[in-house]
């Protein structure tokens, strides 16, 4: 019986030691996930920056937020009143999804939409070849 008790004590002591050894790794794993999450967030934002620098067209302020005078088929942020080159999807100022008016019927779409939900006209967002 002496031996069995020794073995039991040995195992429980060993188990606690393994737990203490693994705990920092578990904490590191969580920290790694957190950093990964931050990196993904950063990449999403920096993608907007890359898209902007790839096109020579500057970000313009809308001369008017009036719907009738707004150019159709051009991505814009209704919140900041900024106009973006074709292919832009997110506002660099507030990170909202950009809107885009259908060139055919003026329906308000998201800049990332490939075509108009109302008339099916292609927005050009999914056709980067048109950018050149
Ligand atoms: Zn904005
Ligand atoms: Zn349309």
- The predicted model scores a pTM of 0.48
Tens digits of per-residue pLDDT, 41-87? 877 766 655 555 554 566 777 765 555 567 789 999 999 999 999 88
Domain map (residue ranges) of the chain: 1-50, 52-132
- HEC profile for 52-111? HHHCCCCCEECCCCCHHHCCCCCCEECCCCEECCCCCCECCCCCCECEEECCCCCCEEEC
* Average pLDDT over every residue of 1-25: 77
Question: How many angstroms separate the CA atoms of 7 and 97, rounded?
Answer: 63
Neighbours of ion ligand 2 (CB under 5 A): 102, 104-105, 107, 116, 118-119, 121
User: Separation of 130 CA from ligand 2 center, angstroms?
Assistant: 18
Question: How many angstroms separate the CA atoms of 10 and 2, rounded?
Answer: 12
Give the ligand with the smallest distance to the CA of 76: 1
Dihedral class, residue 31 (left if φ above 0, else alpha if ψ from -120 to 50, else beta): alpha
């Amino acid at each position: 019986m002496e031996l069995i008790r020794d073995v039991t004590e040995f195992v429980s002591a060993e188990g606690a030691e393994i737990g203490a050894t693994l705990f920092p790794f578990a904490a590191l794993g969580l920290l790694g996930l957190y950093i990964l999450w931050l990196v993904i967030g950063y990449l999403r934002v920096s993608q907007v920056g890359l898209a902007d620098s790839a096109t020579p067209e500057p970000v313009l302020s809308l001369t008017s937020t009036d719907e009738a005078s707004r150019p159709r088929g051009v991505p814009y942020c209704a919140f900041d009143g900024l106009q973006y080159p074709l292919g832009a999807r997110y506002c660099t100022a507030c990170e909202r999804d950009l809107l885009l008016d259908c060139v055919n019927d003026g329906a308000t779409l998201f800049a990332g939409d490939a075509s108009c939900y109302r008339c099916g006209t292609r927005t050009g967002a999914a056709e980067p070849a048109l950018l050149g």
